[in-house]
């Protein structure tokens, strides 16, 4: 199992959080779920952070059977639709986004 995690490290202004979070939870999560070959997608938010930890705002975890399935999904036309949904919300996010590709098991 391959997990591609999109880590949003940063913050959203208090006044923008409800709208940003709702957009990510509905529109973006649904769009990611349409990737060909995706097994599951999860959205996680920190509830506590240790001193010195980076300020992670949220993490999307995308589950694929293997690297080939992940690469095929990322090369698909669906990726542009996902990116456009994400772009709608990103002006409210201050920080950086990076991806971790991990193997489970």
Task: From 62, 51, 57, 54, select the one nearest 104 (Cα to Cα).
Answer: 62
Give the pLDDT confidence of 45-81 residue by residue, as tens digits: 999 999 999 999 999 999 999 999 999 999 999 999 9
Per-residue pLDDT at 105 exceeds 90 = no
- CATH entry 3.30.70.100 includes domain 2-103: yes
Q: Which pLDDT value is given to residue 20?
A: 98
Confidence bin at 92 (pLDDT 50/70/90): very high
Domain ranges in the chain?
2-103
User: Do 35 and 82 form a contact (C-beta atoms < 8 A)?
Assistant: yes
Single pTM value for the model: 0.93
């Amino acid at each position: 199992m391959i997990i591609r995690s999109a880590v949003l490290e940063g913050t959203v202004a208090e006044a923008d959080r409800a709208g940003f979070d709702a957009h990510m939870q509905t529109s973006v999560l649904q769009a990611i779920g349409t990737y060909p070959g995706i097994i599951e997608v999860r959205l996680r938010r920190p509830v506590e952070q240790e001193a010195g930890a980076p300020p992670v705002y949220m993490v999307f975890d995308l589950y694929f059977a293997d690297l080939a399935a992940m690469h095929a999904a990322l090369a698909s036309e669906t990726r542009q639709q996902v990116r456009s949904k994400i772009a709608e919300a990103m002006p409210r996010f201050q920080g950086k986004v990076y991806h971790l590709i991990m193997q489970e098991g």
